[in-house]
Amino acid sequence: MKEYIRYPRVEGSASRQAHADLPHGTYEREMGKEGFFGPASFFYHRHPPTAWTSFEGPLRPHAFDLDKLGRGPATPWEAPVVLGNAHCEMRYWDFAGAMDHLVRNADGDQLLFVHRGAGELYCDFGHLSFATGDYLLLPRGTMWRLDATAGAALLMIEARNGSFMLPEKGLLGPHALFDAAMLDVPSMDEAFRSQQTESAWRVRIKCRGQVSTATFPFNPLDATGWHGDLCACRINVRDFRPVNSHRYHLPPSVHSTFVAQRFVVCTFVPRPFETDPGAIKIPFFHNNDDYDEVIFYHAGEFFSRDNIHPGMVTYHPAGFTHGPHPRALERMLVQPSPATDEVAVMIDCRDPLEIGAAAAPVEWHGYVDSWKGGK
Ligand SMILES: [Fe+2]
pLDDT recorded at residue 373: 65
d(CA 281, CA 255): 16
- Cβ proximity of 324 and 282 under 8 Å: yes
Rounded to the nearest angstrom, the distance between the alpha carbon of 321 and the centre of ligand 1 is: 8
Rounded to the nearest angstrom, the distance between the alpha carbon of 162 and the centre of ligand 1 is: 24
Rounded to the nearest angstrom, the distance between the alpha carbon of 293 and the centre of ligand 1 is: 6
Look up the pTM and report it.
0.96
Rounded to the nearest angstrom, the distance between the alpha carbon of 112 and the centre of ligand 1 is: 23
Instruction: Read off the amino acid at residue 345.
Output: V
Q: How far apart are the first and last CA of the chain?
A: 46
pLDDT recorded at residue 371: 86
pLDDT recorded at residue 205: 98
- In DSSP terms, which residues pair with 142 in a beta bridge? none
If you ran DSSP here, which 8-state letter would residue 351 be given?
Answer: S
Protein residues with C-beta less than 5 angstroms from the ion ligand 1: 288, 293
pLDDT recorded at residue 374: 55
pLDDT recorded at residue 6: 86
Q: Which strands make up the sheet holding 62-65, listed edge to edge?
A: 62-65, 312-316, 292-299, 343-349, 263-268, 256-260
Measured CA to CA in angstroms, residue 357 lies from 75, 79, 80, 84, 307 at distances of: 18, 12, 8, 11, 24
pLDDT single digits (tens) 338-352: 999 999 999 999 999
Rounded to the nearest angstrom, the distance between the alpha carbon of 52 and the centre of ligand 1 is: 17
Rounded to the nearest angstrom, the distance between the alpha carbon of 186 and the centre of ligand 1 is: 35
Q: In this structure, what is the dihedral angle of CA atoms 238, 243, 247, 248, given to the nearest 10 degrees? A: -110
pLDDT recorded at residue 307: 83
d(CA 278, CA 259): 32
Segments in the chain below pLDDT 70: 373-375
Rounded to the nearest angstrom, the distance between the alpha carbon of 322 and the centre of ligand 1 is: 6
DSSP labels, 140-204: TT-EEEEEEEEEEEEEEEEEETS--BPPP-GGG-TTSBS-GGG-B--B--HHHHHT--SS-EEEE
pLDDT single digits (tens) 76-101: 999 999 999 999 999 999 999 999 99
pLDDT recorded at residue 7: 86
Q: In this structure, what is the dihedral angle of CA atoms 325, 330, 334, 339, given to the nearest 10 degrees? A: -30
pLDDT recorded at residue 98: 96
Triad 46, 49, 51: Cα angle to 5°: 95
Residue 61: which residues within 8 A CB-CB, separation 6 or more? 314, 315, 316, 317, 320, 322, 367, 368
Give φ, ψ of 371 to 5 degrees.
Answer: -90, -5
